[in-house]
Amino acid sequence: DPDPRLQAQKARHLSKYIFPLQYGLSNVFSQPSAAKETYKQPNFADREREIQVRLGLSRYTDLFGTCKTPKRLKEVLVLLDKMIWRHGKCHYKLLRDTVCPSKVDKLQVIARASLIFAHRSRQRTTRRWTAASYW
C-alpha cells in the first residue's frame, strides 16, 4: 500500500498542472500578448521550474512543494488521488493487446529479426574480406 501522505502530495502536485490559476501559475489563456514583439509560447507541459520559483522553493526542498491548496479544490484532490492510483494499477500494454490484437505472431517476429541479423552479419563479413575493398 502506498503512503497516504505521498499520495496526497502527488494529487496536490497534479492539481497545479490542471488548475494553474488557482495556484497563481501562468496559464495559456492569461498570457500577456505584445502585438509588436515576437512571442515565444512557453512550454506548459513541464511546470516544475515555474512551480518551484513561484512557491519560493529551493532545490533542496521537497519536489512536490508546499503550497496552500484552495478550499474549492479540496474535493477535487480526492478524485485526482483516485485517478493517480488507477493509473498506476492499469496495465496499459495488456489493455492495448486485448483491444487491438496484433495480426503478426510474436514467434514470427522473433524469427524474422534473427534472420535479418544473421543476413546482415554475413554481409559485413563478406564485404570486409573481398579484394575490392582493398583497392
Average pLDDT score over the chain: 78
- What are the residue ranges of helices labelled H in 1-132? 4-18, 48-54, 74-89, 92-99, 106-128
Which of 51 and 92 is assigned the larger pLDDT? 92
pTM: 0.60
How high is the pLDDT of residue 130? 53
Grid coordinates standing for 27? 496559464
How high is the pLDDT of residue 60? 44
**pLDDT, tens digit, 9 for 90 and up, residues 64-85:** 555 688 899 999 999 999 999 9
**pLDDT, tens digit, 9 for 90 and up, residues 22-38:** 888 887 777 666 666 67
